[in-house]
Amino acid sequence: MMRGKSGRTHKFAESPVLQLALPAWRSRLVALILLASFGVLVGRSFYLQVVNNDFLQEKGESRYRRDLEISASRGKVTDRNGEVLAISTPMKSIWAIPVDAKLNSQQTQQLAKALDADPKEMARKLASDKGFVYLQRQVSPEVADRVAALKLPGIYQNKEYRRYYPTGDMTAHMVGFTGVDDKGLEGVELAFEKSLIGHAGSRSVIRDRRGQIVEDVGSIRPPQDGKDVRLALDSKIQYIAYSHLKQAVADNKAKAGGAVVIDAKSGEILALANWPTYNPNNREHLSGGQLRNRAVTDTFEPGSTLKPFTAALALENGKFRFDTAINTAPGRLTIGKATISDAHPHGVLTVAQVIQKSSNVGVAKMAATFSPQEMWEMFDAVGFGQTSRLGFPGEVPGRLRTWKTWRPIEQATMSYGHGISVSLMQLARAYTVFARDGELLPISLTRIDEGPVTGIPVFSPQTAREVRAMLEMAAGPGGTAPKAQVPGYRVAGKTGTAHKLEGGVYANKYVSSFVGFAPASDPRLIVAVLVDEPSAGKHYGGDVAGPVFSAVMGSALRTLGIPPDAHMTIAQAPTVASGQTASPQPRQVQPKEKL
Amino acid sequence: MLRSNMALLFFVVFCALGVVTSQHKARKLFQALEFEQERARQLDVEFGQLQLELSTWATHPRIEKIARERLKMNAPVAGRLLVASPREGVK
């Protein structure tokens, strides 16, 4: 300060200004505050390092840790003997981030060549303004390696799976197929989606500078591969059924066809074939008609194949016996305003002959003695009007109207299979009651390994045995389907020839069917065949579906090594010659070779 | 005092080098394990592909085609049955 000269001088330290007598507590307070904040810091660091250290640990790890997905494969579908019907194999998809992929024309050329694609198309994809484009999906691993070797910027690969179906069109409807994202879309692939699908796992790793994994950190979630599904299908029998059906549809210039083979002992579905079909490995240009699994999703009026059920109910009620005479003359029967008639008029027939000759009038007369309710209960008990619970997509219950609305004429037509609709699978299943002493068997898509299967009793064993004898007559000489006979085996079965309903009117189009089983002495296989709209002149079930049944049944029984229970020669010419038990190959490619 | 300090320092350095070496060895082994696991996966994939190939070669239509066309095989019983052929009964 320059305020004049002061007479007194002081040492700085003695400055009176500094000689304040501050209270002692202030310095202590400051020291305490400092100590306290230090304590807070220590506490915080203790909290971060010891109590809640996960958070920082994680932040630290995320700087060097990489999460990897471990892919899981979809389960296989195999036939009963382990033959592969559907299998997944890894492929690569090649994708690009167009912004990063600045390729010169030579590089584009190379890439297009490696992917076997059009260079212009490739350039167009790479020039797109999207953040992400697939260049090609489902590329084989070798091609993917070649692309990787080009070391192009902005081009990446992903692992994905492709499903292959080695048996192709033969088992297409049974196995179904998956979409590009490996999800089941049809058939068994969809029905068993839950067990087939795999669940990808994950792991966290530390990678070194060269990209190699050096350590696992954190927990590993192991991948769960999908479970394999072992079907009841026997691929050899499937092939037999498929090729015979295909031939029959071609020979009869038919619109479509279906065939089902069921093991009468276990209820396993050994074969399920449809025509037309498709190749599941190449699904371009698919039509709905090809995709339809007709044996399960389409219903039809079964016609005469339902007569044995009416006869069985008649026997069961005790109103008729095997040899009770029924007058079917003059081949016509008028109920109300409608008249039902036989294709060929017969005179007095026994119950057995009614089935053998397939007389509509005879069956309608039997049905007239039932109440609608008991007839409905019988149809319901053998599984009509309800799905077979296979879990197949699009399975239909068929149509069985409640008995309260039945008129007498309807009851009469239903007794011979009109005014009711069923699927081929239901019909084949219903025949287990005759093949198995009156028991209705549950049917299974998958192989059954545990002991004997029991069904639900519908008819008494006595009734079933009698109907079996009638069915054997129907498939024998003098019956409606002599062509269904199989050399070496006793066969029982029933033909069906039904007019098709079109717009509520019966058109001049037919559905020819045959359902039967063999060997009749101890039934092992049930075969049901359906040919839709045969138009090559023949339309009776015995002429169209009968020969298919015979060929399929004969080959299938020999394949399974079932001992013959009859002579090798039969009363009328079969379409194939008699077989040895170990025929080296199915011989259905030219079923007419001996005719 | 100094001597024991030096001894301890030496001991610490020795331990540190030991840790580094064992870590290195562990990583080497881990990589070997990874490699083998990858190989196992590859073999698994190859097995699947071979299975696929097997069933493609063994499809029934192909077997039948070869049996008929290349090996000239035929239903053996057909010829034998001609003698007792019941076709006469149809005519």
Domains A68-98+107-120+134-141+154-230 and A235-560 share a fold: no
Residue of B nearest to A555 (CA): B75
ipTM field: 0.70
pLDDT band, residue A54 (cuts 50/70/90): confident
The residues facing B81 across adjacent strands are none
Residue given tokens 């500078």 in the structure block: A209
Distance from CA of A216 to the nearest CA of B (A): 9
Computed over every residue of chain A, the mean pLDDT equals 84
Backbone φ and ψ for A322, nearest 5 degrees, come out as: -50, -40
The residue of B72, B81, B88 whose CB has the most chain A CBs within 10 angstroms, and thus the best one to mutate to test that interface, is: B81
- The percent of residues in chain A predicted with pLDDT above 70, rounded, is 92
Residue B59 in contact with partner chain A when CB distance is under 8 A: yes
Question: Are the CB atoms for A514 and A493 separated by under 8 Å?
Answer: yes
Mean of pLDDT values over A8-18: 69
Residue B61 in contact with partner chain A when CB distance is under 8 A: yes
The pLDDT value given to residue B90: 46
d(CA A354, CA A350): 6
The angle subtended at Cα A407 by Cα A404 and Cα A412, nearest 5°, is 115
pLDDT band, residue A8 (cuts 50/70/90): low
List, in order, residues 6 or more apart from A186 with CB less than 8 Å away.
A176, A177, A291, A293, A393
- Residue numbers of A between 158 and 177 with CB closer than 8 Å to B: 164, 166-168, 170
Query: Looking at the predicted structure, is the pLDDT value of residue A63 above 80?
Result: no
pLDDT band, residue A186 (cuts 50/70/90): confident
pLDDT band, residue B76 (cuts 50/70/90): low
Residue given tokens 């309807």 in the structure block: A410
Among A396, A419, A397, which residue's Cα sits nearest to residue A407?
A419
Residue of A nearest to B76 (CA): A583
Query: Looking at the predicted structure, is the pLDDT value of residue A246 above 70?
Result: yes
Mean of pLDDT values over A181-196: 88
The pLDDT value given to residue A323: 87
Out of 3.90.79.10, 3.40.50.720, 3.40.50.10330, 3.40.710.10, the CATH code matching A235-560 is 3.40.710.10
> DSSP assignment, residue A182?
S
List, in order, residues 6 or more apart from A89 with CB less than 8 Å away.
A161, A162, A164, B45, B48, B49, B52
A519 cis-preceded (ω within 30 degrees of 0) = yes
The pLDDT value given to residue B86: 44
Question: Are the CB atoms for A423 and A211 separated by under 8 Å?
Answer: no
Mean of pLDDT values over A50-66: 80
> DSSP assignment, residue A404?
G
Mean of pLDDT values over A100-106: 80
Task: Tokens for A19, please give them.
Answer: 């000689």
Residue of A nearest to B34 (CA): A213
A141 cis-preceded (ω within 30 degrees of 0) = no
**pLDDT tens-digit readout, A116-142:** 888 888 888 888 777 788 888 888 888
The pLDDT value given to residue A591: 34
Among A490, A476, A507, which residue's Cα sits nearest to residue A567?
A490
Residue A589 in contact with partner chain B when CB distance is under 8 A: yes
Task: Tokens for B6, please give them.
Answer: 């030096």
The set of catalytic residues of A is 304
Judge residue A221's burial from the number of C-beta atoms within 10 Å of its C-beta, 0-12 exposed, 13-18 middle, 19 or more buried. Answer: middle
d(CA A457, CA A587): 38
Q: Which residue has the higher pLDDT, A388 or A302?
A: A302
Among B52, B60, B67, select the one facing A89 at the smallest CB separation.
B52
d(CA A495, CA A534): 15
pLDDT band, residue A3 (cuts 50/70/90): low
pTM of the model: 0.78
Q: Is A573–B86 a contact, with Cβ atoms under 8 angstroms apart?
A: yes
Give domain limits for chain A. 68-98+107-120+134-141+154-230, 235-560
d(CA A41, CA A592): 97
Residue given tokens 């179904």 in the structure block: A176
Among A261, A269, A331, A341, which residue's Cα sits nearest to residue A548?
A261
pLDDT band, residue A9 (cuts 50/70/90): low
CATH superfamily of A68-98+107-120+134-141+154-230: Penicillin-binding protein 2a (Domain 2) (3.90.1310.10)
Tally DSSP H helices, then E strands, for chain A.
20, 21
List, in order, residues 6 or more apart from A270 with CB less than 8 Å away.
A80, A232, A233, A234, A237, A238, A261, A262, A263, A525, A556
> A158-188 burial, b for 16+ CB within 10 Å, e for fewer?
eebbbbbbbbbbbbbbbbbbbeeebebebbb
Query: Looking at the predicted structure, is the pLDDT value of residue A587 above 70?
Result: no
d(CA A128, CA A309): 67
Distance from CA of A167 to the nearest CA of B (A): 6
Mean of pLDDT values over B67-91: 60
Task: Tokens for A329, please give them.
Answer: 């003359």
**pLDDT tens-digit readout, A523-569:** 999 999 999 999 888 888 888 999 999 999 988 988 888 887 776 66
The pLDDT value given to residue B5: 94
Torsion of CA A37, A43, A49, A50, to 10 degrees: 180
Give, rounded to a whole angstrom, the gap between the first and last alpha carbons of chain B. 124
